[in-house]
Structures are given as structure tokens and as C-alpha cells.
Amino acid sequence: MTTDQPAAPRAELGVIGGSGLYALLEDVTEVRVDTPYGAPSDALFIGGVAGRRVAFLPRHGRGHGLPPHRINYRANLWALHSLGVRQVLGPCAVGGLRPEYGPGTLLVPDQFVDRTSGRPQTFYDGLPLPDGTLPEVVHVSMADPYCPAGRRVAVEAARAAGWEAVDGGTLVVIEGPRFSTRAESRWFAAAGWSVVGMTGHPEATLARELGLCYTSLSLVTDLDAGVESGAGVTHAEVLEVFARNVDRLRTVLFAALEHLPATRDCTCSHTLDGVTTGLPGVPGA
């Protein structure tokens, strides 16, 4: 493994997730990227998957030291974009809000609801960058926040691996790092939402602002506090279930990476058509 290459290698695809998802790759190049928004969660690890160049970024850092509300989401997405990434998969651990979405369920959401607070969630905040660049104010559509092509590929990859993936549903994103109260959990379920997590926003929003395709693969590690009686979810339980499913999730991710379209023509890819953002390199090819 090499570090801090003077000329950063390029990648076409990106994965934001834990280090266990790229642990089996060979010939991995570690790249550190500076961004106008500070440092990403960690170095990016670039390797090959089925003949395609993929950049893996540990969302919480290598040692899982960053809680959800302290992740530098803007730097993470900017770093991936700057290396050439245009399609991103975002696996994450979530709690199930319905009894049928128990531990081990894989859900590929088509909607999210933002219940976070205080997270920088846009590149277009009207403030100058450190180099004095003043971005335009840009309003992007988030009616359908996830890439339709990426979602289709992810569901097909999961089912080909024998995983009965749930096609569609709503991910409600909470601030964290605490878990939901029973009242909150019952409220989310009563609203018709499917799963609850802490990292899906603003990842999807920032990806859209850069014209990237973003697909969430939400692995249910527990039933949330209001779904059933008992002590409620614990951190140890989440880690145990995720570890039990990481090999299968990695198989699905690698298959999805292989089959993501080589040429984009989805709605995400046209988000910034005709728009002058003022951001260096955005929109990019």
C-alpha cells in the first residue's frame, strides 16, 4: 500500500462506508485529498473492482472515531468528486421501523426524511470559499433523492446474491449519536417511514448538488425502540449484526459496482445542465 501520491489517481465510482468493505482488495492506493471544506473523514482508498476504479472512503474514519453529527460530509463528497467519481454507493446501518424489517434486512430506499439539525448541508450557502470564489446560489430538485439506475442495480445485485432486498421505502435520518426514544420511533413508524439512520443526510443532498448519482443500501441491524418491547437498541447489537452481514454486503456492493452503467443518462446526471455553479470544477464531466 502506498500513501500520499503526488498525482492522485482517478476513480469513476465511490463507496462511502466502513473499512471492512474494502479490506479484501489488493493493490490499494491510499490518497489524501485537501478540499475547500477541510479534511474528509479519512484518506480515500482506491482499488480495482471488476476492472473499474473505485474510491472507498471510511465514513466515520478508520477507527470509527467520528460520530454522525461530526462527519465532514461536504469534504467527503467534494473529495470523491475531485478524483473523478460520478456514482456513489452509500451503505449504512439503520433501525427497522416495521416488524417485518428485522435485523439482516437490506432496504434500498427511494425517499428520505431529514430530522437532523445543525449539519452543513449545502455547497451553495452564499459564502465565499477560502480562495475567494463566490459560488452561485443553486436550488436542486430532491423530489427523488436517489439515483434510479443505481437503485435498480443495487436491488438486482442483492437478489442475485440471495438477499431479498426491499425495493423502496423511506429512510428517516436523525441527528444522533443517541438512538430514538420509543415515542419518536412510534412517531416515525406512524408516518409510514421504513427505517431510521444517522448518516443518509446530507450525503444524498450534497451528492445531488455536485451532479453525482447516489444510492443508499440500508442494512437493518435492529428493530427501533418503538417497534417492540424490551430494552431497546444498543450499540453493541448494531455492531454485532453489521459484522455478521458485512461479507454478504461486500459481495452485493462489488456486484453493484461491476454493473453500474459506464455511461450516465439518469436524472441525477442532468441536475446541473445549463447551471453555472461558481464552484471550481463543478459541474464536471
Least confident window among 61-75, 123-137, 151-165, 186-200: 123-137
Is residue 4 annotated as part of the catalytic site, yes or no?
A: no
Could you give phi then psi for residue 38, rounded to 5 degrees?
A: 100, -165
Average pLDDT rounded to a whole number, residues 252-272: 95
| Whether the predicted pLDDT of 2 surpasses 50 | no
Q: Which residue in 34, 125, 224, 265 is the catalytic one?
A: 224
Least confident window among 37-46, 222-231, 258-267: 222-231
Amino acid identity of residue 53, one-letter, is R
DSSP 21: G
Mean pLDDT over each residue of the chain, to the nearest integer: 89
Domains of the chain in start order, with CATH, are 2-270 (3.40.50.1580)
CA-based nearest residue to 155, from 199, 89, 76, 103: 89
| Whether the predicted pLDDT of 285 surpasses 50 | no
| Whether the predicted pLDDT of 139 surpasses 80 | yes
What's the distance, CA 204 to chain centroid?
7
Is residue 224 annotated as part of the catalytic site, yes or no?
A: yes
> What's the grid cell of residue 194?
421504513
pLDDT value of residue 6:
55
Q: Where are the beta strands (DSSP E) in 59-152?
A: 87-96, 106-108, 111-115
pLDDT tens string 159-198: 999 998 999 999 999 999 999 999 999 999 999 999 999 9
Q: Are 165 and 253 in contact (CB under 8 A)?
A: no
Q: Which residue in 114, 131, 222, 273 is the catalytic one?
A: 222
pLDDT value of residue 284:
43
